Amino acid sequence: MDHLYSMEELGRAKALYSRLMTRISGMYPFYEGYLRRNNVDIMHAHFGYQGFRCLKAKLKTGLPMVTSLYGADATRDAGRPPWQARFERLFRSGELFLAEGGHMAKRLERAGCPSEKIAIHHLGVRLDDIPFTERVADDQDQVRVLMCANFREKKGLPYGLQALGNALQSLTAVDCRVVLIGDGPEKAKILEAITTSGLSDRVELLGVQPYAVVLEQMKRCHFMIHPSVTAVDGDAEGGAPVVLLDAQASGLPVVATEHDDIPEYVLNGRSGLLSPERDVDGLCDHIRSMLMSRDRWAEMGRQGRRHVEESYNARVQSERLELIYDGLLGTDKVGRAS
């Protein structure tokens, strides 16, 4: 990448004006000039709200625009004012909208995006950065369980903690520790769940950590719990958390939920075990199975790594994204602005 632009390059006056006009109109005012001066061929906006903010520049330049949607932008924002009308305009004007998986694609269609403008493009992880470790443990070894997420309702962490606490009540001989990485607005509820689940002396709270530390903790753990749910306000994963790909690439089996595109990311019964959302008993059964069937970890880890290599390799996905760009430029280079 030759250059990254930022507000600071505009100068103080223009930066303040840009923020003001973005607040008033919802669109960025200066992108058109950048695009023309740098002979840009195609625009790619990440998140639906950014697609709308770039719409003025897209219409002024006539460039084709791809928009990737990831979560709350499609599951919550697209259906409530003022964003509902903005998304309708974006769906009319944009050339292509990328969804992480089949479930997200259906959500986009329900939100009003024409089906012919929707394509599924998997996210990818850099496999060269994620060493694979085969998980093995004797019955007397300590089991380390990883939970890694932003402390928000849609991550469902209290359900996972409660399920783990319930499982350990019947497995008193199991030495189990929980590594909990993250922080956020639901922290008080997470701390309460740790206490009420009887896990106070078993949880290591590490807070927010850089990616390298997350990978190191993955290497030291034996399986992951990630019980995503749809929040009361409609916020949801949309696709699925990328950390599930990181975990499987590292060899970690996964206990998760049948939420949005997670069943595409995690192979139920092969690389992980999935339960319905908010099903504490189902999660408990799967966690208990993981704790009692340690001989399954290695094969589940191998299947998870293979699954990520085949469908979520960042290098391969980048090449596929280039083909998407080429297709748009070859068939509709001037865009379909309306």
What pLDDT digit, counting tens, does each position of 21-37 carry? 777 777 888 788 888 98
pLDDT in tens, 109-149: 998 999 999 999 999 999 999 999 999 988 789 999 999 99
Say if residue 2's pLDDT is above 80. no
Domain 127-311, CATH: 3.40.50.2000
pLDDT in tens, 241-258: 999 999 999 999 999 999
> How is domain 7-123+314-331 classified at the architecture level of CATH?
3-Layer(aba) Sandwich (3.40)
Beta bridge partners of 252: none
Beta bridge partners of 207: 181
pLDDT in tens, 175-222: 999 999 999 999 999 999 999 999 999 999 999 999 999 999 999 999
Longest dimension (CA), the chain: 67
Beta bridge partners of 99: 120
Domains 7-123+314-331 and 127-311 share a fold: yes
pLDDT in tens, 264-284: 999 999 999 999 999 999 999
Q: What is the predicted pLDDT for the residue at 9?
A: 66
pLDDT in tens, 283-294: 999 999 999 999
Say if residue 311's pLDDT is above 70. yes
Nearest Cα to 191, choosing from 221, 128, 180? Answer: 180
Domain limits, the chain: 7-123+314-331, 127-311
Residue 338: pLDDT band (50, 70, 90) is: very low
Instruction: Check if the beta carbon of residue 218 is closer than 8 Å to that of residue 246.
Output: yes
What H or E segment, with its residue span, contains residue 291?
helix 280-292
This prediction has a pTM of 0.89
What H or E segment, with its residue span, contains residue 255?
strand 254-257
Q: What is the predicted pLDDT for the residue at 80?
A: 79
Residue appearing with tokens 């030759």: 2
